[in-house]
Copies of this chain bind each other. A is one copy, B any other.
């Protein structure tokens, strides 16, 4: 290390590293050398390196991760803005047109394609071995229990563990408040059936998860899709106006790390939403499936935690955190619980007990907290990597969400982009993503796409993103000529 500058040594080290980050030699999510390693590398003392890293931390360029070291923080590329909520006034849509776009879901989920489509965790991120061991041990230990019907409300041990966890959600539910469901999907299905009738209108975020739109379509519900931004989520003025001008039977929202836009609804907006629900006498269905996945800090509370009246029906699952294939979800339905239980009992007599018991045991023995810490860091890292790469590769004018949790990104491509054409082309190249129109009841978001960052960051994924950007550029230039 040169020692001929007037700057203190630690500052020179810090600035050299900042230059490397600016130049892209060190990129968001990269691990930087350990303190000990840097000390050797720069031939300076350990306290000097610590001072240098402290500067970088205070400049929000790097961050410490417990037991793992220092990493380059994600930084928005200057060229990428976030998508904003549409200003268009929402109207009631029938979802009849939605069926036509639904056929692409199969491609979104096709496992032979590069997995930027379905919002599923990569196998590598799941505690496969531990869950396998627990399953084997439980089926031996519990004998008959796993073979028997597990009547609604389902697995008591699971409900007890959920009761404990609900403190982290800002709630203090009893085991008796829960009904175990087949993933959050079944929870949403039961919630909607409990509070609506065919022909009713449900208020949702726009864009929102296509599975929800599909469910609404199958239940012959109509929808009013209220614009939401990737920052704060729902445009509250638009919600207010929609409720004043339309008869809405229920609102279905994703306050924590919304799919696909990744928004985190501010507390004030949550309070306002509840007040509006109260004023209009309507229930709120809260999809909290990403709530356990903040990129940093504590888990955000549920909207349900503010609910004094049993007006909010909370739905969640372990499909994004532990094992989609276990199909273990839950619903806290408040005053609709009896109805929800009747419906579930009539529809399938309850689910298989083994997956619930296994996850309960995982939660009980403390593996979940440790697993979640690692998982949230990993998702964050993967989201950072994907953002950086999109920022570099995609055309000027692309907007990109900046989620603080979950693992999906929402891209708004230049207005002229036909994303369904991009989708077909990408599919042919072996790449899958979720095209924007899937997230709209009436084919909006024609120039948008959702990218899943659920899989480990690999050269294959990096190169697929490059190809995707190439396809976008090519189709754009074709259109321009």
- Give residues in A with beta carbon < 8 Å to B: 109, 118, 120, 123, 126, 128, 131-132, 135-136, 139-140, 143-151, 182-183, 185-186, 189, 198, 211, 214-215, 217-218, 319, 323-327, 342-343, 345-355
A186: B residues at CB distance < 8 A: 347-348
- A348 touching B189, Cβ below 8 Å: yes
Number of copies: 2
Which of B109, B185, B211, B352 meets A325, CB within 8 Å?
Answer: B352
- B185 touching A347, Cβ below 8 Å: yes
- A144 touching B132, Cβ below 8 Å: no
- A128 touching B145, Cβ below 8 Å: no
A146: B residues at CB distance < 8 A: 132, 323, 325-326
Q: Closest Cβ of chain B: how far from A441's Cβ, in Å?
A: 14
- B349 touching A211, Cβ below 8 Å: yes
Cα distance, A323 to B126, chains bound together (Å): 28
- B136 touching A123, Cβ below 8 Å: no
Chain B's closest residue to A110 (CB) is B151
**A324 in contact with B355 given A185-B347, A346-B218 (CB within 8 Å):** no
A120: B residues at CB distance < 8 A: 148-149
Additional A-B contact list (9), CB under 8 Å, known A148-B324, A149-B325: A128-B144, A146-B325, A182-B182, A182-B348, A185-B349, A211-B346, A214-B346, A215-B346, A217-B346
- B132 touching A139, Cβ below 8 Å: yes
Cα distance, A39 to B126, chains bound together (Å): 66
Cα distance, A319 to B149, chains bound together (Å): 9
- B324 touching A149, Cβ below 8 Å: yes
A352: B residues at CB distance < 8 A: 325-327, 351-352, 355
